[in-house]
Each structure stands twice: as structure tokens, then as C-alpha cells.
Amino acid sequence: MEKGERTKKYPKPYSNITKIDKSGFVVYKRRVDIRGSVLKGDIELDNCYVVPHNLALLKKYQAHINIEWCCNTSAIKYLFKYITKGVDRALLLLQQSGKTKAEIEKKKQLEMDEIDRFQECRYISACEAPWRLFSFHIHHNQPSVMKLTLHLPGEHNLVVEEGKSLSDILSEDGIEKTMLTAYFMANQKYEEARELTYIQFPSRFVYHSGEKTWTPRKQGTAIGRIIYAHPASGDRYYLRILLNVVKGAFGYDDLYTVGGTKFKEFRDACYARGLLDDDKEWHEAIVEPSYWATGRQLRRLFITILLYCEVGNPLKLWDHTWKILAEDILYMKQREFNTPGLILEDAQLQQYTLIEIERLLKENDKSLTDFRGMPKPDTSVLQEISNTVLREELNYDTAKEAGEHEKIFTTMNDDQRSIYS
């Protein structure tokens, strides 16, 4: 094709380009942007309306399929929160006609059982029924995740049968064993186990709950996750920190001991290992739950750490974690201002997040001014945010709105016109 021939052959602003492979399948079909936009009804469309797609899937299923790449863990952490949340429920009230209102109210008060009401209003929807009939999986984890127990010396959780005597429970074989103590025993028995931390153990060992023992893994893989401990839970929290870094521990004494010195508390052992320098533990305390906790929960955790955990440098903690704390702020403001397309810059997001932090601190009779170095909401930035929202609200097509007004006005009845006037 000679240069300039395209313009002669395709005088329209847009042209269709279709690619067909050797087997005759359409690989893709799209419109080539030449002038920048096209008018579809009353809407002007441009390249921003082109959705991501996968050519292999388009060819295989011969259907319109949108593809998005979840490259942020904040999107993935909501997957299992909603995928099995449950179907909608309906509650119906049937009453006999002819009865007085007082009789009906008296019957409702006598027979109201919230548990029974909840159970009776459950049902399986049409889309869920065939899924369960065909025994499809509700969800799938790959690799599997093993939850590792955590307990201090001399204490651990037990699940016992109702009515069983305490003496029978304490006399059972292996009653003193737990997943954590079995980890200590495996370190003594297997030399290769001493190269792993507690959280790495499931990748190469399998736990047998019946015998309460760890044995080398022969197939498959798994990842470990130690049960979460709140920063305000004391020694339990510091024990969790040590289990994340110490390898080959034969018992609790190895966790208490650093460089030949045995400490009385896990907190002191953490300091001796340099795990608590520069408020490192509080940084990790917010970063780690950010993979599964919501923004509201993380902000409450942040003020809990400020209030009760003696943070040495609150400003450094804020600078490191504010983006995590502001994860849902933009969505909240889009709903609050009724502006789905609202965009906030980093400085504006920080201001709104600081306002939320200040509000939570006020509930505890505290303020950001009580913490050295912490920034405060900037009134000038907040005023600029309000002006931006106002400009977006006033940014509309007056000619289009006038035409819509005339169209709706002609359809009014007499009463509507009277109210309008």
C-alpha cells in the first residue's frame, strides 16, 4: 500500500481491522483510533473505553472476555471475604386475618426466637443449587495454608467433650504436647529441621494432629501462618516475633537465650536480638495484617499502638504506614461526595486519613497533638479539597442539561407542573 492510500480507502474517522488465523477463527476485532473519539448516542467514546483482553481466551471461547491483572495484594485480600459470603435472605411474616392488632403484637412477642428466625429464612438460590449438586469447590487454595498454634510456656488451648472429668483429661497421653512443642521435638530429632523457622516448617514437614508430631514431607507443599497476636497481648506478641526469626530451637529456653545470656521475658530477648530497634515491631505489626485486614481495622490498630505501645518515633511509623491506613479513604470520599470519578492526590489522602485518625483518638480522649512529631490535618489543604469537589460538581454541560430539562418538562402532568412552578 502506498503512503496516503489509507486515507483514500478509509475516509471515516474509524475503521474495522479483523485478524483471522489459518483455521478461520477470529483472533481479534477492534476499531482503530484515527481522530481520537467517536459519538455513541449521547456519549463520546475514546481509547479509555477499550477494555483489557486476552487473545487466547477470545479465540478459545469466541466470546467477549475482559481481563484484569490483580497486581496489588489489597485487591486479593477481599477475594475470600466475599466469595462465600452467602446468598440474600428473605424474612416473611404470615398472620391470620380478623385478629386485632393487640392480639397480633402479643403473639409476636411471645413467639419471637431470633435463632429460629435466622434458620427459617435461609435458602439456597438457583445459581448455588447446581453448583453444590455437581460438587464443585467453593474455593481453592494453592498452596495450602497451615495455621500454626501459638502459646506461652505452661499454657495451651484444649478442646474437650462435654461432661468429661478434669482428671480424665489430665491423665490422657500426650496432653502436654502441642504443635509448638512438637516443633521443638522435631528440631531435636531431624537435623534438616534446624535450618527452618517455625513459620517455614510446613514447607518441608507435615504435622500429624493425632500423634502430635512433625515428620518430613514426602510430597506436595504448604506455607505456614502463625496465629495472629495483637501488639497489646504482651509476651505472647514477642514470642511470635521470635518464632519468625529463630531457627532450630529445642525449647523455650533457646528462645529466651541470646549470646549465652538467658533472659526472663521474650521482650528482653527481642531487644537483645535487635528486633525492637527503631520501633521495628510496630511497623511490622501494621504491615503484616494489611494483607487481610480492612482499612478501618488498620486505623484502629494504629491508634492502639500509639496509645498503649510507647512508640519512640510516631512520625516515622506514620510515614511508613500511611498508604496502608488510607487504603479505603478514596472509596469513602467518592461515596460521601457522590462523585464516583473523584481523584485525590497523596497529600489530600493523607489529610483525610489524619482526620480519621484524629476522630478515633478523640474517642479515647486523645489527640494528634499528644504525640510528638505526628502531623496534624492542614486546614488549607482541606479547603482546597472542598473547592476541587465543588468544581467537579459544577462541571457539567449546560446545553445538554437544558435539553434534558425541556424533554422531561413536556411529560409532566398538571399536578407536577403546579409543584414545579
- What is the three-class DSSP state of 203? helix
Asked if residue 229 belongs to a domain, the reply is yes
Task: Give yes or no: residues 55 and 120 share one domain.
Answer: no
Asked if residue 256 belongs to a domain, the reply is yes
Task: Give yes or no: residues 206 and 150 share one domain.
Answer: yes
Asked if residue 377 belongs to a domain, the reply is no
Asked if residue 74 belongs to a domain, the reply is no
pLDDT attached to residue 278: 73
Task: Give yes or no: residues 151 and 264 share one domain.
Answer: yes
Task: Give yes or no: residues 120 and 153 share one domain.
Answer: no
Asked if residue 370 belongs to a domain, the reply is no
- What is the three-class DSSP state of 66? coil
Task: Give yes or no: residues 214 and 112 share one domain.
Answer: no
pTM here is 0.53
CA 340: distance to chain centroid? 21
Task: Give yes or no: residues 230 and 179 share one domain.
Answer: yes
Asked if residue 52 belongs to a domain, the reply is yes
CA angle 324, 329, 332 (to 5 degrees): 145
The number of folded domains in the chain is 3
Task: Give yes or no: residues 129 and 179 share one domain.
Answer: no
Q: Which residues of 145-165 are buried (b: 16+ CB within 10 A; e: fewer)?
A: ebebbbeeeeebeeeeeeeee
Pick the closest to residue 30 from 44, 43, 42, 47 (CA basis): 47
Q: Are 305 and 285 a contacting pair, CB within 8 Å?
A: yes
- Spatial distance between the Cα atoms of 160 and 142, rounded to a whole number of angstroms: 32
pLDDT tens track of the chain, all 421 residues? 343 333 333 333 334 444 555 555 444 444 444 457 778 888 887 776 776 677 888 888 888 777 666 666 566 666 555 555 555 555 566 656 666 667 666 665 556 666 666 666 656 667 777 887 888 886 676 778 888 888 888 777 777 777 777 777 777 777 788 899 999 999 999 999 999 999 999 999 999 988 889 999 998 888 888 888 887 787 888 899 999 999 999 999 999 999 889 998 898 898 888 887 778 888 888 998 888 888 899 999 999 999 888 787 888 899 999 999 999 898 888 888 888 778 888 888 898 899 889 888 888 888 888 887 888 887 766 565 556 556 666 667 788 888 888 888 888 898 888 898 8
pLDDT attached to residue 206: 93
Task: Give yes or no: residues 148 and 126 share one domain.
Answer: no
pLDDT attached to residue 125: 67
Burial of 186 (0-12, 13-18, 19+ CB in 10 A): buried
Task: Give yes or no: residues 148 and 252 share one domain.
Answer: yes
Task: Give yes or no: residues 33 and 119 share one domain.
Answer: no
- Spatial distance between the Cα atoms of 5 and 392, rounded to a whole number of angstroms: 44
Task: Give yes or no: residues 236 and 264 share one domain.
Answer: yes
Task: Give yes or no: residues 184 and 216 share one domain.
Answer: yes
Boundary of a domain, candidates 275, 292, 313: 275
Asked if residue 22 belongs to a domain, the reply is yes
Asked if residue 317 belongs to a domain, the reply is no
Q: Within a 10 A sphere around the Cβ of 223, how many other Cβ atoms?
A: 13
Where in the sequence is the domain holding 30, given as residue range(s)? 13-61
